Amino acid sequence: MATFHQNVEMYFDSAAKHLKHPKGLLDQIKSCNAVYRMNFPVKIGSEYKVIEAYRVQHSQHRSPTKGGIRFSEHVNQDEVMALASLMTYKCALVDVPFGGAKGGIKINPKALSVSQLQRITRRYTAELVKKNFIGPAVDVPAPDYGTGSREMAWILDTYMALKPGQIDGYGCITGKPVNQGGIQGRTEATGRGVYYSIKELMSYKDDMKAIGLTTGIAGKTFVVQGLGNVGYHASRIIQEAGGIIVGLAEYEGAIYNAKGLDLDAVVKHRKNTGSILKFPKAKSMKNSFEALELKCDVLIPAAIESVITKDNAKRIKAKIIAEGANGPVTADAEQILLKKGIVLIPDMYCNAGGVTVSYFEWLKNLSHVRFGRMEKRFDEYANESIVTMVEKMTGKKVQKIERNLLTKGADEIDLVNSGLEETMISAYRDIRDVRKRKSNTITDLRTAAFAVAINKVANDYLAMGIFP
């Protein structure tokens, strides 16, 4: 079976053959520019252990490079190179001006104490600083699988200690706690982006009719694999929009109820029992991969890569697969799924919400001002004047609840969510437009998305004059 990185390169090649760029330019876009593998000692318990870690900068066509850091026993160079490559194409696709990067530390975070994790994270940061692989204008990491705002705070503190006096130093990392230069909405950004991608796909009547669905999320059935940051928030927002979560899967197993599951009740049950299994009025399955084969309208693999392969692709019953995780569908499995008429929303678009809001956080750190601070009250006063004018003209009084809604100025979270929705809508329309214009040769969304991204990166290189 092809490796994760080889799968990404196959997707690239599949799209590149529809473009007219010179081979040398395409080879440069596809190549990883820098791969930093490091080994460093950290005291774990009473002994020292050598930790294996990586940082890959795929492309510097835009600066800085950008990409998350994951903590996992399965981290390896191939995986980090694949993820860094996807970050380049993802950023280009959603018009975020970064090159792609990714990092990883080969550890099991669940087997380590908080103090041990902190020592490893800080030492990793020091290694990145030593080789100039981190900085607000160089390379900006973010959370990924196994990491969160806590780890980003450790990285920020270590960086600022080693680089004192940098006025834009807080821009060296994103996904930070809000009170340490983070931004409202970052935690749920990737899951919200998954929701927006599905919502936009399902807004086109003809496209939905072709796969036997009506438009809109309300009333549609969903199965979600993974109840981490991405899967949980995607499920929550989909449920709030009227979607029916019929199946949920975690590493310990899966549960199913054709009439729908109460997400918060499931989360509470797991917190109390340590497992989603034996949830009341739901069928339990000890093999979590069985959830992928459940009947539903939309399947969201939101855990790890390569969970849908040529071995189980033929048994997938969903009409739409939204790739909340990175690389959950292998290249050979995708061919089987496409032949079955299943629509795949590719990861490089579907889970771009995280990097989009990370971009907003980076801008906030460089501008040193919270979004909404300058205009919120001005907008409220202007809106209040309009409402008062309407009342005078109509002779009717606007009720207090309606007045508050009409006059409210945008908070940071409102602006972040608005910017994210606009980004996801615009990117999908670019993808759909390419697929429609090149319908004779490009028939799937992934190839169209890669074509859009490659063109944008190529245009940057051409503008530099490197490839006349």
What are the tens digits of pLDDT across the range 343-386? 999 999 999 999 999 999 999 999 999 999 889 898 888 988 99
Residue 123 maps to a domain: yes
Give CA–CA dist 362/98, Å, rounded.
Answer: 11
Q: Is residue 427 part of a domain?
A: no
* Res 304: pLDDT: 80
**Spatial contact of 318 and 312, defined as CB atoms under 8 Å apart:** no
19 contacts: CB under 8 Å, gap ≥ 6: 26, 451, 454, 455, 458
Asked if residue 332 belongs to a domain, the reply is yes
Co-location of 46 and 166 in the same domain: yes
The pLDDT tens digits for 216-254 are: 999 999 999 999 889 999 999 999 999 999 999 998 999
Backbone angles phi, psi at 53, to 5 degrees: -150, 165
Domain boundary among 157, 180, 203: 180
pLDDT digits (tens, 9 = 90+) for 11-69: 999 999 999 999 999 999 999 999 999 999 999 988 999 999 999 999 999 999 999 99
**Tell me, what's the pLDDT at 223?**
97
180, 199, 225 — which closes off a domain? 180
Overall average pLDDT of the 268-280 stretch: 93
Number of structural domains (the chain) is: 3
**What pLDDT score was predicted for residue 306?**
85
Helix (H) or strand (E) holding 237: helix 229-240
**How far is 230 from 134, CA to CA, in rounded Å?**
25
pLDDT the model gives residue 259: 94
The answer to whether the predicted template modeling score (pTM) of the entire model surpasses 0.85 is yes
CATH of the domain at 56: 3.40.50.10860
What local confidence, expressed as pLDDT, does residue 468 receive?
65
Q: Tell me, yes or no, whether 429 lies in a domain.
A: no
Residues 208 and 346 in one domain: yes
* 325 shares its domain with 193: yes
d(CA 343, CA 331): 14
Judgement on whether residues 46 and 164 belong to the same structural domain of the protein: yes
Q: Are 442 and 448 spatial neighbours (Cβ–Cβ below 8 Å)?
A: yes
What's the pLDDT at 237?
A: 97
The C-alpha angle 434, 436, 437, rounded to 5 degrees, equals 65
Assigned domain for 225 exists: yes
Q: Catalytic one among 90, 102, 199, 364?
A: 102
Q: Do 216 and 141 share a structural domain?
A: no
What Cα–Cα distance (Å) separates residue 312 from each residue in 52, 275, 289, 292, 334? 32, 25, 9, 9, 11
CA dist., res. 305 & res. 50, Å (int): 26
Contact 348, 453 (CB under 8 A): yes
Domain endpoint, select from 386, 407, 428: 407
What's the CATH number where 342 sits?
3.40.50.720
Same domain, 193 and 336: yes
Backbone φ, ψ for residue 19 (5° rounding): -110, 165
151-160: average pLDDT: 98
In a domain, 384, yes or no: yes
Identify the pLDDT of residue 224.
96
Whether 162 and 288 share a structural domain: no
**Would residue 268 show up in a list of annotated catalytic residues for this protein?**
no
343, 197: one domain: yes
Q: Which position has the token pair 């607000």?
A: 136
Q: Which residues contact 352 (CB under 8 A, 6 or more apart)?
A: 90, 93, 94, 96, 193, 423, 424, 427
For residues 312 and 209, membership in a common domain is answered with yes
C-alpha of 6 from chain center: 21
If asked whether residues 337 and 207 sit together in one domain, one would say: yes
Position 458, amino acid: A
The upper half-sphere exposure of residue 92, i.e. CA atoms within 13 Å in the direction of its Cβ, equals: 29
Q: Is 387's pLDDT higher than 80?
A: yes
Residue 307 covered by a domain: yes
Q: In whole angstroms, how far apart are CA 73 and each of 46, 147, 208, 211, 342?
A: 21, 13, 40, 39, 32
Q: Are 208 and 162 part of one and the same domain?
A: no
Query: Could you read off the pLDDT of 79-124 as tens digits, one per residue?
Result: 999 999 999 999 999 999 999 999 999 999 999 999 999 999 999 9
Are the CB atoms for 222 and 198 separated by under 8 Å?
Answer: no
Domain range for 54:
34-180
Say yes or no: 339 and 390 in one domain: no
Residues 6+ apart with CB under 8 A from 5: 78, 79, 81, 82, 85
**pLDDT at residue 22, rounded to an integer:** 93
Q: How far is CA 241 from CA 158, 198, 217, 296, 383, in A?
A: 41, 12, 7, 17, 28
Separation of alpha carbons 164 and 185, rounded Å: 29
Asked if the structure places residue 361 within a domain, the reply is no
When comparing pLDDT for 204 and 464, which is higher? 204
